[in-house]
Amino acid sequence: MAADHSSATEQAVVRARAVVQALYRADLASQAFGVEILDAAPGYARIAMSVRPDMLNGHGTCHGGIIFSFADCAFAFACNSYGDPMVAAGASIEFIAPAAAADRLIAESREVSRAARHAIYDVAVATAAGNVIAQFRGRCARFRGPVPTP
């Protein structure tokens, strides 16, 4: 019985990774930010991005809108990782610390709750050294349009 569960879990992870890669290939915004997919599983995504000079605000730190968008990318990959088309229905972010030029940021999105039509995800955005700079919470809803398939 345990082997069957392990095999099903492995298959779900392989499928989630394929779904996230397919979504990434169609996601020109994530590509423009230089987002890299580090890992994915059902209800989970971990991505990275380096802060470029064109992402800085007037104070010389990474623009909050860029950090929000980066967190939103992780959220999108995680909530779509099951292969069900989901889109953001709402989101909020708390900025904790600034990010500087050339910082490598990691965003890790985890499922908090999931139902048939809605789900909630938390995303921690941190520097490569592990210092959390922002906490994002997103709520998604089922989308009725086509989505990329693996």
Residue 150 lies in a domain: no
Say which CATH number the domain at 73 has: 3.10.129.10
Condensed to tens digits (0 to 9), the pLDDT of residues 14-31 reads: 999 999 999 999 999 999
pTM, two decimal places = 0.91
Question: How many structural domains is the chain composed of?
Answer: 1
Handedness of CA 116, 120, 125, 128 (dihedral sign): negative
Residue 148 lies in a domain: no
Residue 147 lies in a domain: no
Name the residue range of residue 94's domain.
2-142
For residue 132, the one-letter residue type is V
Residue 129 lies in a domain: yes
pLDDT at 147: 55
Condensed to tens digits (0 to 9), the pLDDT of residues 47-73 reads: 999 999 999 999 999 999 999 999 999
